[in-house]
Amino acid sequence: MRPPCELVVRSVLPTFRSLVAKRLIEKYRFSQVAAAKKIGTTQASISHYLYSKRGDKRMKQLEASSSVRAIVDEIAEGIATEKLSPFGAMLQFCKLCKVLRTGDLICDWHKNFLAVPEACDVCPPTIKE
């Protein structure tokens, strides 16, 4: 049995980190090393996020969500302006998880990941964007 949380940890959080790193590098001119330090990962991970084709479909799906884009922008701006502490950034990552669990995206990914009964109610009721 694999709960939706496992899917979030394995797939969503790395993809979300890559979106934040990409924004820091492209909009705020951070180096890969500086972006890695700010989001608590390695430069090699940042390079992988930016140039790897793995996970590209999920990245496009996350980027298509206005809620996700807003949280990415909020975190990147907070990090770049130093108005967001590491704890504050962590809270924003948790906010992302809550937003995604109240939408269809994680539920749909989970159904593709595991044979989930139609009556599954693990995720909170859907909130439409």
The pLDDT, as a whole number, for residue 113 is: 66
Q: DSSP assignment of 23-34, as one string?
A: HHHHHH---HHH
Structural contact between residues 101 and 5, judged by C-beta atoms closer than 8 angstroms? no
Average pLDDT of 43-67? 77
Rg (CA), the chain: 15
Distance (Å, rounded) from C-alpha 62 to C-alpha 105?
A: 8
Which pTM does this prediction carry? 0.76
Q: Regarding predicted confidence, which is higher, 5 or 83?
A: 83
pLDDT tens for each residue of 80-107: 999 998 888 888 888 887 777 776 666 6
- Residue 74 pLDDT > 70, yes or no? yes
pLDDT tens for each residue of 37-48: 998 889 998 888
